[in-house]
Structure 1
Amino acid sequence: MMFDLSPMLPVWLLATLAVLTVAGAIYGALRGARGMLWRALAVLALLGWLSGPRSLHPVLRPVPQDALLVVDRSASMQVGHRSAIADHAAEQIMQDVAHLPGLTLHRVDVPGGTGHGTRLFEALDHADLPQGRFAGAIVVTDGMDHDVPPHLAPRFHGANGQTLPLHLLLTAHGEEQDRRLRILSTPPYAIVGQNATIRVQVDDLGAPSASDAILTIRSGDAPPQTRPIQTGTPQDITLPVQHPGETLVGLSVSPLAGEASTENNSEVVRIRGVRDRLRVLLVSGVPNQGERVWRRLLKADPSVDLVHFTILRSPNTDDGTPLSDLALIPFPIRELFQEKIRSFDLIILDGFRNSNILPDEYLTNIADYVRNGGGLLVTAGPEFTQDGTLQDTSLAQVLPAHVSTDGIVTRAFRPSLTDLGKTHPVTAGLTEDWGPGIAPFIRTSHTAKT
């Protein structure tokens, strides 16, 4: 039972009258007036009646409420018995809530985000619940979350201003320790022949103090290197970049005694080696207008070292001209395509038809060069379907398309961008509205992807 007031007059007026009544009674008593006490009590009784005293007998009924049970299903939950502990805790909570009248528990399993870590609070914010019936949340996790906000979401603030509960259950046996290797910074590329600096840090989570660890570095075919490292402090590692293309550097740190998992004790860093100048080998075969365009384009850039050879005569050419009358230098096949092929960043074969010019072993060297990160650009016309075509050699293994013998079509057509062409950095800025000033092409080739 509760007592409450429902005054018939404003409270300030009733209080004023009560004060005046008490003051008058005191004054009358001091002056010796008779009956002032009884008169004052009668007036106060009247004022008490006007204040509207009443007794309340509340009847409590459960109001439907909804709560959230968020279960972490990220990759870190697979360490040890964390996933089993989480399942057991979630089932026990669901069974206990089933006996609470008016409370509906909604379960949400949160997988690990692709590249964004575990996002438990995002799941809390986006959960679909009836408006105004949210009562709180229970989170079952290992504590590894990547979207912890500085303040609770507005959902956790009730209508009357109270803060709704958020309970956290950790799937661990007491305080666990774990050693983690972090890559703080790494250069996207480095000049060949110079050093690249990688900044790393080893953290001992849950450990009382910093300690020493052993960092192992593996790069290419070189034997692994080890060096001591202080946990909790950023460390710089300097490695030489010895060749162009991608270099994989494996980093691993010695395990911590009794740690939860060793899966985060290693990392792989990719560093792309580039030269300070771009070396391009341009080999032109069938004479065409594009040969001069290639040469002028590449020569106009001072950061490009261009080596250009034009095949004017094949070894099978027999026109009766004495060798003493030829001013042509021999094509340095072995030097270009075996001894120094790794020194080029890009090989351009422009209108090139292999009429006994390059033996198959050198074409295999070009294919291996591409597989190891080298660049190859083939520009061709009808000679790509004729005798000596490159697509009938070992180089076809790295070519992205194949043109059949009947794939050359001679007719007017206008090119259009494919879906890939609309996103490629070279052609993304082009529009298909070529305008009336651009004449149509007169030859095209039908290709099939390989």
Structure 2
Amino acid sequence: MISSYGIEWQPLVPLWMIYTILGFALISLLSLFFLKSKGGELRAFFLVIVALFLSNPNLHKEISEALPELVLAIVDNSPSMNYGGRKSQAANALTSLHEQVNQRSDLILKTIQINGDAENGTKLFDDIYLTAEEKERLAGIVIISDGQIHDIPNTLEGTQFPQNIPFHLFLAGDPDKGDRRIVIEQAPAFGIIDQKTELTFRVIDENINETDTPATVTLRKNGDVIAEFQTPINQTITHELTLENRGEATFDITAETLGNEITPINNQAVFTANGVRDRLKVLLISGEPHPGERAWRNILKEDPSVDLIHFTILRHPSKQDGTPIRELSLIAFPIHELFEVKLADFDLIIFDQYQRQGFLPSHYLTNIVRYVKQGGALLEVGGPGYATPASLYNTALGSILPAEPLGKVSEQAFQPLITQLGFRHPVTARLPQANLSKDEKPRWGRWFRQVETDTLGGSTLMTGNGQLPLLILDHYEAGRVAQMTSDHIWLWGRNIEGGGPQTELIRRLVHWLMKEPELEEETLRAQLKDQQLTITRQSMSEKEVTLTITSPSGKITETVLRADTHGYASTRLEATEPGLYTINDNIHTVVAQQALSGPEHERVRADPTPLASIITTSKGGTYPLKDLTPKLRLVRGKGTLTGKEWAGLQAQRAEKLIGSTRHPLLPPWVFLSLLLFTAFGAWYREGR
């Protein structure tokens, strides 16, 4: 128990009355010196006693007890503490602190857990709140962490923490252990197809002596290795990338792991880049004017990214009517430039009701075959001319066209039907107003003409009159070929008998020919979000497929997918490990990354440097937990607060009031006696 005494004033009258009485006392005292009046000092003493009595002084006694000193332990539970047994070290250190405090009555321990997150890092100084009582009792702060704190202020002024207490860092992890990490300085968000773009990165070795040894770096695209090379350490490296296809591509770059590294998880970085086409170049050649010619032209011209070159054969060369040549020629047909010099620049060539008329020599058609083999795209829309001897099938193009004409043209009305294979192909799957089964009728209008053909290859997605092939798609070496055996798709655009999805079908068809990723028949995609791995697969096959998922730690999981009637299948799996997941279906390999960006994974080395200035200013110390857990020592007064095996606490000597009493300083009879004595003395003095 601690007792303290004091005097409290509890006036019985307003203060101005007491001040007035004291004023008269002062006047009486002055009269003694200036007027030589007898008894002036006794009258002044009388008035002072009256003022003192009216002020009512009390003797105040307070009884308090000493409060135990508060020790604040801040435990870092952020993601970087998962490496190298740091959480185990932190738990052992916290247990030791509890044991030490429990053995003493003059200390009490308060524990605060800070979790942090990968994106924003570990916030210690911004997220902790202390009450006024805690600040008064706080004797020291122990931070149990790997040192990776990301909101460290320059000074403690303006924070929740007092400036006169020591900060001690109990360092989890091994500060002598090194780590390698890869940092992407600049990655392309998009790239123009077939044009080079640049990736810049650095491989950083922290606390590693062998920094002169180059690192082997592997670069992969969608799970496939595209480059492997050696790079110097701690230098900015520029590597050229080329995107071959439109759409999103996932790249991951990995540096080889060191033998004694903290973790290989930050040796890898992932980024995505979107391939975009600068301009789509389409060559449309119409064999003769017809009602559907403008349908192709208008749809292609609606897309601002398409550069369309359109030629229509207005006059057969065999026609002779005596008209001068200069009046017939609107523009010279640049055959040599289009089919010899600039052919490879086109993304798509469309023959619309074209037949052999002597305009294109046979070797130019051979050039088109070579163009398709090397990755080009060809669309042939057949009119009645495709069934004649002048058909394109009877040229060099016949080797790549999948539909063989039977020499007849059917002019019976029919409704185009989606085939069983068409239900699964992205070009025709889920077309508006389409039939949902082979026995169901679609809700679109009829067509009235079709060239009768037999398919020699490819995939028949739509049929017409008498189940004859209507839309056939085929892969030819590196290129693609599509055929439509009717020229009446324009009827849908004119809303004949309710019309149909003309624009959507043409758009899908053209984009498939130009290898748009969303229209590929066989695709595998993976997305990681909120620790959920979503895998989707598009396939033309009805068979079950076994997926192999490899986690960042190397754990292999298998799951079975079966596509629905539209060729689509999906599954969702938990993915709690941070890092890169690889998914394979025996055809494709894709990757997905559990987010590792942010300060918690950029630097994982146990490092006291970020907190060094705060610790030095507060006279605290740093203690690696790999060596020992220091003892707590309470220091009273000024002195050293650190030792080799102990951490000092600055005693605050906070107290708690448990009782108080008040008694009059002098009893009333004492005041009365003094008043009578001074009054009698003044009368006696003045009477002499």
Normalised to the residue count of structure 1, the TM-score between the two structures is 0.53
C-alpha distance in 2 between matches for 1:276 and 1:71: 54
Alignment CA distance shift 1:72-1:351 (3 Å)? farther
Equivalent residue for 1:187?
188
Q: Does 1:295 align with 2:300?
A: yes
Equivalent residue for 2:115?
110
Equivalent residue for 1:335?
370
C-alpha distance in 2 between matches for 1:61 and 1:188: 66
Q: Does 1:405 align with 2:438?
A: yes
Equivalent residue for 1:226?
231
Query: Does structure 1 retain, via aligned residues, the 8 Å contact 2:278–2:305?
Result: no
Structure 1 residue 81: Cα displacement:
2.4
Residue 229 of structure 1: SS of its match in structure 2? coil
Residue 46 of structure 1: SS of its match in structure 2? helix
Matches within 5 A, 1:209-358: 217-219=217-219, 220-229=225-234, 235=236, 237-245=237-245, 246=249, 248=251, 250=253, 252=255, 263-272=265-274, 274=276, 276-278=278-280, 291-298=296-303, 301-302=306-307, 305-310=346-351, 335-341=370-376
Equivalent residue for 1:5?
8
What amino acid sits opposite 1:339 in the alignment?
Q
C-alpha distance in 1 between matches for 2:206 and 2:28: 79
What amino acid sits opposite 1:405 in the alignment?
K
What amino acid sits opposite 1:297 in the alignment?
E
What amino acid sits opposite 2:566 in the alignment?
A
C-alpha distance in 1 between matches for 2:176 and 2:23: 68
Query: Does structure 1 retain, via aligned residues, the 8 Å contact 2:252–2:268?
Result: no
Alignment CA distance shift 1:45-1:71 (3 Å)? same
C-alpha distance in 2 between matches for 1:139 and 1:439: 78
Structure 1 residue 280: Cα displacement:
6.3
Q: Which runs of 5+ in 2 are unaligned?
A: 220-224, 287-291, 310-345, 383-392, 403-414, 446-494, 506-563, 569-688
C-alpha distance in 1 between matches for 2:75 and 2:497: 61
Query: Does structure 1 retain, via aligned residues, the 8 Å contact 2:199–2:241?
Result: no
Residue 222 of structure 1: SS of its match in structure 2? strand
Query: Does structure 1 retain, via aligned residues, the 8 Å contact 2:285–2:352?
Result: yes
CA shift digits 1:132-163 (9 cap, x unpaired) = 998899875434345678999x9959xxxx99
Residue 242 of structure 2: SS of its match in structure 1? coil
Query: Does structure 2 retain, via aligned residues, the 8 Å contact 1:391–1:399?
Result: yes
Structure 1 residue 59: Cα displacement:
5.8
Alignment CA distance shift 1:223-1:108 (3 Å)? closer
C-alpha distance in 2 between matches for 1:46 and 1:53: 12
CA shift digits 1:404-430 (9 cap, x unpaired) = 424653279xxxxxxxxxxxxxxxxxx
Equivalent residue for 2:80?
76
Residue 84 of structure 1: SS of its match in structure 2? helix
What amino acid sits opposite 1:229 in the alignment?
N
C-alpha distance in 1 between matches for 2:77 and 2:215: 31
Alignment CA distance shift 1:13-1:175 (3 Å)? farther
What amino acid sits opposite 1:194 in the alignment?
K
Equivalent residue for 1:372?
none
Equivalent residue for 2:54?
50
Equivalent residue for 2:92?
88
Alignment CA distance shift 1:183-1:326 (3 Å)? closer
Query: Does structure 1 retain, via aligned residues, the 8 Å contact 2:24–2:47?
Result: no
What amino acid sits opposite 1:410 in the alignment?
R
C-alpha distance in 2 between matches for 1:350 and 1:71: 70
Structure 1 residue 80: Cα displacement:
1.6
C-alpha distance in 1 between matches for 2:28 and 2:213: 88
Query: Does structure 2 retain, via aligned residues, the 8 Å contact 1:119–1:147?
Result: yes
CA shift digits 1:47-94 (9 cap, x unpaired) = 33333322334466999xxx9987543321111222113333455667
C-alpha distance in 2 between matches for 1:443 and 1:28: 124
RMSD: 6.4
C-alpha distance in 1 between matches for 2:103 and 2:429: 61
C-alpha distance in 1 between matches for 2:7 and 2:30: 29
Residue 221 of structure 1: SS of its match in structure 2? strand
C-alpha distance in 2 between matches for 1:185 and 1:239: 11
Query: Does structure 2 retain, via aligned residues, the 8 Å contact 1:213–1:254?
Result: no
Alignment CA distance shift 1:172-1:311 (3 Å)? same
Alignment CA distance shift 1:183-1:312 (3 Å)? same
Computing the radius of gyration from Cα coordinates, the structure with the larger value is 2
**Identical pairs, percent:** 20
C-alpha distance in 2 between matches for 1:326 and 1:90: 89
Structure 1 residue 239: Cα displacement:
1.9
CA shift digits 1:23-51 (9 cap, x unpaired) = 75366258765544444444333333333
Query: Does structure 2 retain, via aligned residues, the 8 Å contact 1:2–1:57?
Result: yes
Normalised to the residue count of structure 2, the TM-score between the two structures is 0.38
What amino acid sits opposite 1:291 in the alignment?
W
Residue 188 of structure 2: SS of its match in structure 1? coil
C-alpha distance in 1 between matches for 2:86 and 2:250: 36
Q: Does 1:198 align with 2:239?
A: no
Structure 1 residue 385: Cα displacement:
0.9
Residue 244 of structure 1: SS of its match in structure 2? coil
Structure 1 residue 333: Cα displacement:
7.8
Alignment CA distance shift 1:75-1:6 (3 Å)? same
Residue 232 of structure 2: SS of its match in structure 1? strand
C-alpha distance in 1 between matches for 2:378 and 2:300: 11
Q: Which runs of 5+ in 1 are unaligned?
A: 314-320, 342-346, 364-380, 413-437
Mean alpha-carbon deviation: is it higher for 194-203 or for 76-85? 194-203
What amino acid sits opposite 1:218 in the alignment?
T
What amino acid sits opposite 2:242 in the alignment?
Q
Matches within 5 A, 1:34-45: 35-45=39-49
Alignment CA distance shift 1:199-1:300 (3 Å)? closer
What amino acid sits opposite 1:53 in the alignment?
P
Query: Does structure 2 retain, via aligned residues, the 8 Å contact 1:244–1:275?
Result: no
Query: Does structure 1 retain, via aligned residues, the 8 Å contact 2:423–2:567?
Result: no
C-alpha distance in 1 between matches for 2:352 and 2:122: 60
C-alpha distance in 2 between matches for 1:193 and 1:79: 41
Structure 1 residue 224: Cα displacement:
1.0
Count of matched residue pairs: 363
Residue 76 of structure 1: SS of its match in structure 2? helix
CA shift digits 1:348-400 (9 cap, x unpaired) = 97999xxxx999x999xxxxxxxxxxxxxxxxx945417xx5668xxx59997
Equivalent residue for 2:566?
448
C-alpha distance in 1 between matches for 2:440 and 2:84: 59
Alignment CA distance shift 1:17-1:298 (3 Å)? same
Query: Does structure 2 retain, via aligned residues, the 8 Å contact 1:68–1:106?
Result: yes
